[in-house]
């Protein structure tokens, strides 16, 4: 289980960095009225989505085997969780699933458009919202310690 926890922690750095780059690239492309390329723009957005989905899968595995996840809820009940335990057991997984849904919607929407500005806008908005949600529910106290 310690390997899964370490993987989840270190993969988070990579996934967040690539997600941030994808959002920044989309904003720069939108503001600069650039053409959406099948090389850099498509691959960066796709790679960000794939990494975030892998991170979610590792996180779900950790959730079901960790004492901080489902086992904490089963042992203490929802009312017995203090704020840090609630963050790990409820808020972090729930909000991150919503973030991944938004990122996936952004990816799916961008494929429907032909114009580069609409593609960049879809990725910037949905990936950006997903990034904000993810950042809002990271257990910073444990992650940076």
Q: What is the DSSP string of 99-111?
A: HHHHHHHHHHHHH
Which position has the higher pLDDT, 105 or 140? 105
Structure letter (DSSP) for residue 90 = I
In the chain, the number of structural domains is: 1
Distance separating alpha carbons of residues 31 and 33, to the nearest angstrom:
5
Give the pLDDT confidence of 71-104 residue by residue, as tens digits. Answer: 767 676 777 777 777 788 788 899 999 999 999 9
Asked whether the beta carbons of 5 and 106 are under 8 A apart, the reply is no
Owning domain of residue 65: 2-143
Which position has the higher pLDDT, 63 or 76? 63
Rounded to the nearest integer, the mean pLDDT of the chain is: 89
pTM across the whole model: 0.89
């Amino acid at each position: 289980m310690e390997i899964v926890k370490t993987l989840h922690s270190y993969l988070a750095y990579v996934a967040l960095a690539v997600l941030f780059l994808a959002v920044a690239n989309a904003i720069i492309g939108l503001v600069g009225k650039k053409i959406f390329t099948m090389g850099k723009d498509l691959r960066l957005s796709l790679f960000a989505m794939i990494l975030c989905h892998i991170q979610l899968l590792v996180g779900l595995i950790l959730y079901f085997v960790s004492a901080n996840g489902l086992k904490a809820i089963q042992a203490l009940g929802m009312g017995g969780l203090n704020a840090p335990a609630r963050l790990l057991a409820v808020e972090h997984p729930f909000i991150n699933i919503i973030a991944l849904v938004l990122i996936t919607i952004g990816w799916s929407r961008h494929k429907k458009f032909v114009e580069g500005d609409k593609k960049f806008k879809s990725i910037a908005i949905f990936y950006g919202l997903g990034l904000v949600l993810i950042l809002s529910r990271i257990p910073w106290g444990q992650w940076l310690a």
